């Protein structure tokens, strides 16, 4: 288990609960994920309930192509 992980609960910011936490869009999420990968983070927490699934979709878009970087 990694010592450090990154939570993607603010990605999307949809719905009454998650919009109160933040509204991280794709471009900002991409920058955050890039910084995480550069720092060696390899544990990303997300769930289908975060912003009604938008968090997983945005995280997937941000990670797309990461294996080739």
- The predicted-structure confidence for 18-42, as pLDDT tens digits, reads as follows 777 778 888 899 999 999 999 999 9
Distance CA 53, CA 69 (A): 26
Distance CA 15, CA 51 (A): 6
| Percent of the chain topping pLDDT 90 | 41
In this predicted structure, the answer to whether residue 16 has a pLDDT above a threshold of 80 is no
Supply the pTM of this predicted model.
0.80
User: 6: which strand partners?
Assistant: 44
């Amino acid at each position: 288990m990694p010592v450090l992980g990154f939570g993607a609960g603010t990605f999307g910011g949809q719905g009454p609960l998650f919009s109160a936490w933040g509204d991280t869009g794709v471009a900002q999420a991409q920058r955050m994920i890039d910084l995480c990968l550069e720092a060696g983070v390899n544990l990303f927490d997300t769930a289908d309930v975060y912003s009604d699934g938008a968090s997983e979709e945005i995280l997937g878009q941000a990670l797309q192509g990461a294996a080739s970087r």
